Amino acid sequence: MHQPDTAPRRSTFYQYQVHPFRTPPELAGGRSDAPVVIVGAGPIGLVTAIDLARFGVRSIVLEQDAQVSHGSRAIVLTRRSMEILQQAGVDAPFTAKGLPWSSGRSFFRGHEVYRMMLPHDDDDRFHPCLNIQQQYIEQFLLEAAERTGRIDLRWGSKVLTIAQDPDGARLTVDTPAGEYVLAAPWVVAADGGRSAIRRLMGLRMEGRAYAGNFVIADIKAPLGLPTERLCYFDPEWNPGNNVLVHRQPDDLWRLDFRLPDGETAEEALAPARLSARIEQILAMVGRRVDWVLDWAAVYSASTLTLAEYRHGRVLFAGDAAHLLPIFGVRGANTGLQDAGNLGWKLAMVARGEAPPALLDSYSAERVEAAREICEEAGKSTRFMTPPTAGFRLLRDAVLSLALTEEFCRDLLHWRTSRPHAYRHSALNGAGDDFDGGFAPGEPIRNVRLGPDDFLFDHLKSGFHLIGFGAGALPLPRLTVPVITIAVGSATLPDPDGRIAAKFAAPPGSAYLVRPDLHVAARWLQPSADAVAQALRIATAQGPSPARGRLDGGIAARTPVGKGGAR
Amino acid sequence: MIPKRLGNADLEAVYDRLAEAVDDVPAEQRELFLAKLALVLANLVGDPAAIAEAIEAARRDL
């Protein structure tokens, strides 16, 4: 009998709402027929459900808790994440509540040694970063999920077992009213870093964990500092380590600092010690104000990923699939890219519009992205939490030099989560030689059309055939629905040719863009046959290595274990 | 001000290689290794004035 905690979590700023358990049909002798079961109602599970819903696919979401996330956790959403949320139709409350920013400053021995401006292109609607607590992220997504009418969210529901065969998957779910079996054709494992599904299926991740623990502590305090990332290296009270300060809505501040080697989580979170350090941080930023602790936790950095995100009928997304460092805000932001990639593909497969092999492209594309992140984030991690004496020595040398020498300051540059170009994707079709623009696999970028009007505001849910200049677009006999956009027409005027310039699109050319805004193909002179061909390839139905059967047959997959910690 | 000759990609690669090289050497021989490296690199730089500037830059803010 699974009994979630039904006392509202305590917070200095957030009103937790406890969601009651509702007896599901299965416990009353009935059944549900949702094509997809999503395990986990965190940000990634919810965006996946919302994305499926916008393509007309129902889902059941199983969440073992009865309320949203404990603690602010993921607090920074990148521009790309906001674009994904906009495509899912849920961005408005985030923009209203969140704090946008673009700059960061690094300090060493009281001096500013590095200032970084993340580029905020005038053509982007969203700022490079937006700070907002995970409680709000989940709340806004829950409200949006409710509005779809297609998502059956089951609180207090914990998965005990999972099994699958060619016909589908079966989960044993434990609830306050007893256990039941839930069968579904597809399962999305979005159950977080300590994923039960990953553990139950005996899957191990590849990569490494880094030694070095960090405390994140949220305080409510009137600091009155602007919204930017502040990083302090080697403060006197915490020699050799670093401190980060981030502003959040509602006067909350995220303090993040590395612990001395050997110190345990228990020692670090002991109230007296934690308070003393918070006081020292406030002195360091020059704001000795009254404060209240909202939440604190200890974490460490890893660069870990499953080698495959598809295991038969189970798809892994978010922290269930990968554990990436907090440096460069790579946790939720990577997971949201997973959800954006998975949603439309799983929807097409669930509706019988594409073969299950399309889901193999989800795994291939997102695993490649995760590996790139492990590589890039590994560099930041080796700077923020040097794993060896050699790396620590070099880090200290750079910090010391950076006080007076410019040549090495860019080593303090902090890479941030970014979208990935799926250059090797099996879904990429023809890529004619454009003089710029976006190649197959790459995400398209936004264009400003007016003071509050951007290209992405005009995109809907599905594939888009974006045509430029004169003439009608060559529409094939449609096996896959395609939304046509004629740039330069009355519906999307381009008086200064700015859209055409951004896409490097001469008159007569066209782009086929996937529902997740990555380019499938582009032509200087498209024909109906070429477009039809590209659509087949982009939905894994064409002459490509990935093959599948529309009758729901699964490609048997044997996970290739490569060692790794978890 | 020491002029920037290495692009960032190369500088990062050098950073990693130096860190790994330091780790490869037993702790008590680290100083000797770094002194040898300084001499080798000074010779490669070849310009006494530039080398003097480098020594000054490295001595600051220790």
Residues of A in contact with B29 (CB under 8 A): none
Closest CA to A208 of A87, A385, A49, A88: A385
Would you call B3 and A413 a contact, using CB atoms and an 8 Å cutoff?
no
Mean pLDDT value of segment A103-123: 91
* Residue range A1-18, pLDDT digits in tens: 999 999 999 999 999 999
Across the interface, do B11 and A408 touch by the CB < 8 Å criterion?
yes
Amino acid at A279: E
Residue B28, chain A, CB below 8 Å: the answer is no
Has residue A337 got a pLDDT over 90?
yes
Work out the average pLDDT over A125-129.
Answer: 97
pLDDT per position as a tens digit, A166-208: 889 999 999 999 999 999 999 999 999 999 999 999 999 999 9
Backbone angles phi, psi at A149, to 5 degrees: 70, 10
Residue A561 has pLDDT above 50, yes or no: no
Mean predicted confidence (pLDDT) in B17-35: 97
Q: Do B20 and A390 touch (CB under 8 A)?
A: yes
Query: What is the per-residue DSSP string for A230-253?
Result: EEEES-TTSTT-EEEEEEETTTEE
Token representation of residue A203: 């899957």
Q: Is the pLDDT at A563 greater than 80, yes or no?
A: no
Q: Do A400 and B62 touch (CB under 8 A)?
A: yes
Of B3, B23, B61, the CB nearest to A400: B61
Taking the CA of residue B10 and the nearest CA in chain A, the distance in Å comes to 11
CA-based nearest distance B33→chain A, Å: 12
**Helix intervals (H) in A26-110:** 43-54, 79-87, 92-97
Q: What is the pLDDT of residue A381?
A: 83
Question: Which pLDDT band, with edges at 50, 70 and 90, does A110 fall under?
Answer: confident
**Is the pLDDT assigned to residue A550 strictly greater than 50?**
no
- Does the CB of B23 have a partner CB in chain A at under 8 Å? yes
CB contacts < 8 A, A to B, total 60
Average pLDDT over chain A, rounded to an integer? 92
Q: How confident is the model at residue A552 (pLDDT cuts 50, 70, 90)?
A: very low
Give the model's confidence band at A341: pLDDT under 50 very low, under 70 low, under 90 confident, else very high: very high
Q: How many residues does chain B have?
A: 62
Residue A544 pLDDT greater than 70, yes or no: no
Q: For residue B62, what is the nearest residue in chain A, using CA coordinates?
A: A400
Non-local (6+) Cβ contacts of A63 within 8 A are A40, A41, A45, A153, A154, A155, A156, A157
User: Model confidence over A227-245: pLDDT tens digits?
Assistant: 999 999 988 888 888 899 9
ipTM surpasses cut 0.95: yes
- DSSP calls for A148-208: HS-EEEETT-EEEEEEEETTEEEEEEEETTEEEEEEESEEEE---TT-HHHHHTT---EEE
In this predicted structure, the answer to whether residue A217 has a pLDDT above a threshold of 90 is: yes
Three-state SS for A131? strand
Q: Are strands A453-454 and A448-450 parallel, antiparallel or unpaired?
A: antiparallel
Q: What is the 3-state secondary structure (H, E, C) of A344-410?
A: HHHHHHHCCCCCCHHHHHHHHHHHHHHHHHHHHHHHHHHHHCCCCHHHHHHHHHHHHHHCCCCCCHH
What is the strand order of the sheet A314-316 is part of? Answer: A151-154, A59-62, A36-39, A186-189, A314-316, A310-311
pLDDT digits (tens, 9 = 90+) for A467-492: 998 677 777 776 788 999 999 998 89
- Model confidence band, residue A543 (pLDDT cutoffs 50, 70, 90): low
pLDDT of residue A415: 81
Does the pLDDT at position A559 exceed 50? no
| Least-confidence region, from A25-29, A86-90, A240-244, A518-522 | A240-244
Per-residue pLDDT, B48: 97
CB within 8 Å of A517: residues ≥ 6 apart: A83, A87, A340, A443, A444, A456, A459
Mutation for B interface: A108, A111, A395, A404, most B CBs within 10 A? A404
Nearest-CA residue of chain A relative to B22? A390
Query: Given this model, what pLDDT does residue A326 score?
Result: 85
**pTM for the whole structure:** 0.91
pLDDT at A384: 83
Q: Which of A403, A404, A411 sits opposite B11 (nearest CB)?
A: A411
Q: Which of A382, A398, A407 sits opposite B3 (nearest CB)?
A: A407
Classify A486 as helix, strand or coil.
Answer: strand
